[in-house]
Amino acid sequence: MAGKMEPLMQSPMTPWPYRIQKVIRESHDTFSLNVVPKNSPDSMTFNPGQFNMLYAFGVGEVPISISGPQPGGKGMIHTIRDVGIVTGALHKLKKDQTIGLRGPFGSAWPIEESKGYDIVIMAGGIGLAPLRPALYALLDQRDKFGEIVLLYGVRKPEDLLFTKEFETWRGKYGVQVKMTVDTADREWRGNVGVVNTLVQRANFDPMNTVAMICGPEVMMRFAVSELKRREVPEDQIFITMERNMKCAVGFCGHCQFGPAFICKDGPIFRYDKVKQFFGIREI
Amino acid sequence: MNKSVTIDREGLNQLISVLNGMGFQVVGPTVRDEAIVYEKLESIKDLPEGFTDEQDGGVYRLKKRKDKSLFGYAVGPHSWKKFLHPPERRLWQADGEGGDFEIKPEKLDATKFAFIGVRSCEMHAIAIQDKVFINDKFVDPVYQVRRENAFFVAVNCGQAGGTCFCVSMNTGPKVEAGFDLALTEILDNDRHYFVVEVGSEQGEACMEQVTHKLAQNEEVTLAEKVVKETAGQMGRTLDTTHIKELLYENLEHPRWDDIAERCLSCANCTMVCPTCFCSTVEDVTDITGTHAERWQKWDSCFTMDFTYLHGGEVRASTKSRYRQWLTHKLASWQDQFGSSGCVGCGRCITWCPPAIDFTEEIPKIRDSETQTLKTS
Ligand SMILES: Cc1cc2nc3c(=O)[nH]c(=O)nc-3n(C[C@H](O)[C@H](O)[C@H](O)COP(=O)(O)OP(=O)(O)OC[C@H]3O[C@@H](n4cnc5c(N)ncnc54)[C@H](O)[C@@H]3O)c2cc1C
Ligand code: SF4
Ligand code: SF4
Ligand code: FES
Q: Best interface-test mutation with B: which of A39, A50, A251 has the largest number of B CBs within 10 A?
A: A251
- Average pLDDT score over residue span B174-190: 95
CB A219 within 8 A of CB A124: yes
Q: What whole-number distance in Å separates Cα of residue A13 and Cα of residue A74?
A: 25
* Chains A, B: CB pairs < 8 Å: 164
DSSP A14: S
Taking all residues of chain B, what is their mean pLDDT, rounded to a whole number?
A: 95
Q: Which pLDDT does position B81 carry in this prediction?
A: 97
Q: Is the CB of A100 under 6 A from ligand 4?
A: no
Separation of alpha carbons A105 and A249, rounded Å: 8
Q: C-alpha dihedral over A228, A230, A232, A234, to 10 degrees?
A: 10
Closest CA to B171 of B157, B186, B152: B157
| Contact list, B296 vs chain A (CB under 8 Å) | 13
Q: Is the CB of B269 under 6 A from ligand 3?
A: yes
C-alpha dist (Å) from residue B164 to B65, B122, B160, B232, B283: 19, 12, 6, 11, 39
Q: Is A115 in the pocket of ligand 4 (CB under 6 A)?
A: no
Domain positions in chain A: 16-105, 112-240
Residue pLDDT, tens place only, A126-144: 999 999 999 999 999 999 9
The whole-number average pLDDT for the span B249-257 is 96
Those of residues 204-243 in A touching chain B at CB distance below 8 A are 221, 242-243
pLDDT of residue A43: 61
Cβ–ligand 3 distance for B12 under 6 Å, the answer no
Q: Over 90: is that where the pLDDT of B188 sits?
A: no
**Eight-state DSSP code of residue A112:** G
Can you tell me which atom of ligand 4 is nearest the CA of A247? Answer: 2
CB-CB neighbours of B56 under 10 Å: 17
What are the extents of the domains in chain B?
5-89+105-231, 243-375
The number of residues in chain A equals 283
What is the amino acid identity at position A171?
G
Residue nearest to atom 7 of ligand 2 (CA): B273
- Spacing, Cα B244 to ligand 2 middle (Å): 16
Q: Tell me if B262 CB under 6 Å of ligand 3.
A: no
- Residue A57 to residue B150, Cβ atoms within 8 A: no
Residue B83 has pLDDT above 60, yes or no: yes
Longest dimension (CA), chain A: 72
A204 CB-near residues (< 8 Å, 6+ apart): A118, A119, A120, A146, A147, A149
Structure confidence by residue, pLDDT tens digits, B95-136 = 998 789 999 999 998 899 999 999 999 999 999 999 999 999
pLDDT at B3: 76
Q: Using a 6 Å cutoff on CB, does residue A60 contact ligand 1?
A: yes
Q: How far, in Å, CA of B9 to CA of B12, rounded?
A: 5
pLDDT of residue B16: 98
**pTM of the shown model:** 0.94
Q: What is the pLDDT of residues B270-279, one digit of tens each?
A: 999 999 999 9
Residue B328 is predicted with a pLDDT of 98
Query: Using CA positions, which residue lies closest to atom 4 of ligand 3?
Result: B269
Would the CA dihedral through A280, B249, B325, B128 be positive or negative? negative
Q: Is B372 a residue whose pLDDT tops 50?
A: no
Q: Residue A253 C-alpha to ligand 4 middle, in angstroms? A: 5
Is the beta carbon of A245 within 6 A of some atom in ligand 1? yes
Ligand 2 centre to CA of A68 (Å) is: 45
- CA torsion sign, B114 to B112 to B40 to B294? negative
Chain B hits for A30, CB-CB cut-off 8 Å, are none
Asked if the C-beta of A29 comes within 8 angstroms of chain B's C-beta atoms, the answer is: no
Which atom of ligand 2 is the closest one to the Cα of B344? Answer: 3
Q: What is the pLDDT of residues B200-232, one digit of tens each?
A: 999 999 999 999 999 999 999 999 999 999 999
Q: Are strands A176-181 and A148-154 parallel, antiparallel or unpaired?
A: parallel
* SS3 of residue B278 by DSSP: coil
User: By CA distance, what is B290's nearest residue in A?
Assistant: A58
Task: Establish whether residue B354 lines the binding site of ligand 3, counting it when its CB lies within 6 angstroms of any ligand atom.
Answer: yes
Specify the pLDDT at position A6.
Answer: 44
Judged by its nearest atom, the ligand closest to the C-alpha of residue B312 is 1
Touching check for B180 and chain A: CB below 8 Å? yes
Question: Which residues from B are below 8 Å from A97, CB to CB?
Answer: 99-100
Please state, in angstroms and rounded to a whole number, the distance separating the CA atoms of residues A267 and A248: 10
Nearest-by-CA chain A residue for B373: A280
Answer CATH for A112-240 from 3.40.50.80, 3.40.50.720, 3.30.420.40, 2.10.25.10: 3.40.50.80
Residue B94: which of A57, A251, A283 has the nearest Cβ?
A57
Per-residue pLDDT band for B267 (boundaries 50, 70, 90) equals very high
In angstroms, rounded to a whole number, what is the distance separating the alpha carbons of residues B68 and A124?
A: 69
**If you classify domain A16-105 with CATH, what class do you get?**
mainly beta
- Say yes or no for a CB contact (<8 Å) between A283 and B202: no
- Beta strands A256-257; A76-81: pairing state: unpaired
pLDDT at B18: 97
Helix (H, G, I), strand (E, B) or coil at B40: strand
The CA distance from B301 to B327, in Å, is: 12
Q: What is the pLDDT, as a whole number, of residue A40?
A: 61
| B353 alpha carbon – ligand 3 mean position (Å) | 7
Q: Which helix (H) or strand (E) holds B279?
A: strand B279-285
Average pLDDT over residues B328-357: 98
Decide if B277 and A246 are in contact by the 8 Å CB cutoff: no
Q: How far apart are CA A1 and CA B20, in angstroms?
A: 16
Quote the CA–CA distance of B217 and B210 in Å, as a whole number. Answer: 21
Q: Does A39 touch chain B (CB under 8 A)?
A: no
Confidence of residue B184 (pLDDT cuts 50, 70, 90): very high
Name the closest residue on chain B to residue A15, using Cα atoms.
B103
Amino acid at B18: V
Residue of B317, B325, B316, B315 lying closest to B358 (CA atoms): B325
Query: Ligand 2, atom 2: nearest CA belongs to which residue?
Result: B348
Query: CB-based contact (8 Å) between B373 and chain A?
Result: no
CB contact under 8 A, B148 and A5: yes
> Which residues of chain A are under the pLDDT cut of 50?
1-8
Give B 22-51 residues with CB within 8 A of chain A: none
Residues of A in contact with B270 (CB under 8 A): none
| Of residues A3, A16, A247, nearest to B148 (C-beta) | A3
Alpha carbon B221 to chain centroid distance? 29
Q: For residue A249, which residues of chain B lie inside 8 Å, CB to CB?
A: 137-138
| 0.85 surpassed by complex ipTM | yes
In short, whether B353's Cβ falls inside 6 Å of ligand 3 is yes
